[in-house]
Structure 1
């Protein structure tokens, strides 16, 4: 079903700013209307920064970076590697003084992101006010820790995420657990949910600016202006990480060849798809595209995308698949770019994405029984 259909995924949306809520069933739609009202409220993008690419570029510089103190933990993986987790335990809160039962949110940053990204810090600050605990899953090798094995990460392989989820759940088995993923972190989370169904300790999930169909994302990002603004920069960030760990990676990979890549697709062809044993990069991209797994998600999952996101073109957002799954809801805005969603005249403290996050995690933790009883 669709609720509040205003923006379209194909035509002009210049004068239309109310989100489109697409939900696979009346129950989830009613739950969101009651407990997460931002999904039906008009979203007004910042007037001087409404264009998608501009929103994407400026958010890291405009929004403040709240001060967050983490406790770091390194956990071992089955293959001998290690994963860096940053914990915000929120021990000083009075809403959930019993740490064993304190609601916990696992946060997954984007492609080259870490626990220091502004959007992660904002999520933690809103969670702090609600009394919740947060733990950030930093992908292998991106947060300053050493690579112990010649392996990094990708959007399709969910083994590390499953290790982290089980680790967090085992530490606090009585605490309700959710996850929120941003960009590639959202893709990884969706792929996990599609593979595991109900066989996950997660009670719900929030996904922001996920790339739904990797082939189409690559095509759009390779257009000249997008290549200049985003693709080449992200490629160099990926290569810088490879260079930091060159000593262990060059035992199995042609690092000189990887360093010649000029786009994310070339990087994935020369490195990522090879690392994870795919016959070709096309095989990897199909496996990494969460649009194929929407129908298999079996816990309440809310996904926010902007139609003008160059990383996830509007025409490949899986609207029809979402309509067929009562556990999935899509919130689609006309504007917002990629992890942008800036609103207000000077949007330093809060974005529309922050509001969705805060309302949805609170709804699931405080009123989640309503979903499961519907």
Structure 2
């Protein structure tokens, strides 16, 4: 019979052995974790965190950006846990905070009988520009189905408000809750509504300098407008984010299997929802049942809209900075018009390696600000306060 003391001795030896093995295993696990962490940190520093490429059509604009917008020369550090393009694109609306903004809405009538919704932030408490008649104004254009309530628009409104500027958001027809009065919607190629809005803003505050910022399709519309107007515009400068410069290449990119699953079907359904909301008016001119059967953006465009590529960049005569990410699935890197930009002294491109589509998250936990926000703030301030240096970029 085994004694109790012997049993405890055997148990003690067993426990000591298990502890030793556990400590050894923990040491191995810790070493592996540290090794992996060091390898990932090295990969992040060498391959992920990089300075953006700044391409300008002229030396004067390049130097202006370098001197007054230091963000264009700084390394962009996307979150170490979220630098992949699809992740940045999908997570930004959920990760970034939505600043509280109270708008003053204005509905203006178009010549065809339609109405356009403008959301104003007058910023009457501005300490730097107390006179409302001369307070600088920033016109903001959201993306394809976006409104003044998108997080990226709210962030630009907040940045403008902190600078002491006034903001006005141009909501495309029928997207922000107002009734669609005519069977006409919008697309990047048609700038008539934008021209009317800019004329209205200028007539409302004729003594105030005006600049504009457009996101995705809003940026495409602005570029199209500038190419059409040349020098015949009141805008002092324009900044464009995540524009799709070649819509055919954008559509082809979105039809790749994974991107079609993640983005294409969702965007198509959003567009169809907008059409369905205004069906009583639109069915006078369109086969809505046919439109509602579209499965992709390409099919929706063929059945409802006609969006042409932007070929007017050579005619832009206003300083315009364009921010794109090289990994943007909506606007593939090979479709970014680098050579066209090099031929126009009024244009500049800022291309980051990562950032996705309207992502540009940066830092450990990017709740309050993104790289895109910093580019907007610095460029808006430079155009408003140092714009005299850009009077002649030829």
Q: Provide TM-score, normalisation by structure 2.
A: 0.87
Q: For 2:75, which of 32, 42, 48 is the aligned residue?
A: 42
Q: For 2:356, which of 337, 342, 350 is the aligned residue?
A: 337
- Aligned equivalents of 1:141, 1:262: Cα separation in 2: 22
**Mapping of 1:23-102 within 5 angstroms?**
23-102=56-135
- Aligned equivalents of 2:283, 2:339: Cα separation in 1: 44
Flag structure 2 segments of 5+ consecutive residues without an equivalent. 1-45
- SS of the residue corresponding to residue 340 of structure 1 reads coil
**Mapping of 1:126-275 within 5 angstroms?**
126-273=159-306
Say yes or no: does 1:103 pair with 2:122.
Answer: no
- Aligned equivalents of 1:231, 1:55: Cα separation in 2: 16
Say yes or no: does 1:356 pair with 2:375.
Answer: yes
Aligned to 2:323: 304
The alpha carbon displacement at 1:373 in A equals 5.0
**4+ residue runs over 6 A deviation:** none
Aligned to 1:323: 342
Aligned to 1:21: 54
- Aligned equivalents of 1:320, 1:248: Cα separation in 2: 43
The alpha carbon displacement at 1:99 in A equals 0.4
The alpha carbon displacement at 1:192 in A equals 0.4
- Aligned equivalents of 1:52, 1:190: Cα separation in 2: 24
Flag structure 1 segments of 5+ consecutive residues without an equivalent. 1-12, 274-283
- SS of the residue corresponding to residue 272 of structure 1 reads coil
- Aligned equivalents of 1:147, 1:240: Cα separation in 2: 14
Aligned to 1:124: 157
Higher alpha-carbon Rg: 2
Aligned to 1:293: 312
- SS of the residue corresponding to residue 179 of structure 1 reads strand
The alpha carbon displacement at 1:334 in A equals 0.2
- Aligned equivalents of 1:248, 1:365: Cα separation in 2: 41
- Aligned equivalents of 1:16, 1:319: Cα separation in 2: 22
- Aligned equivalents of 2:211, 2:269: Cα separation in 1: 32
Aligned residues: 348
The alpha carbon displacement at 1:16 in A equals 5.8
The alpha carbon displacement at 1:244 in A equals 0.6
The alpha carbon displacement at 1:294 in A equals 1.4
- SS of the residue corresponding to residue 391 of structure 2 reads helix
- Aligned equivalents of 2:174, 2:331: Cα separation in 1: 26
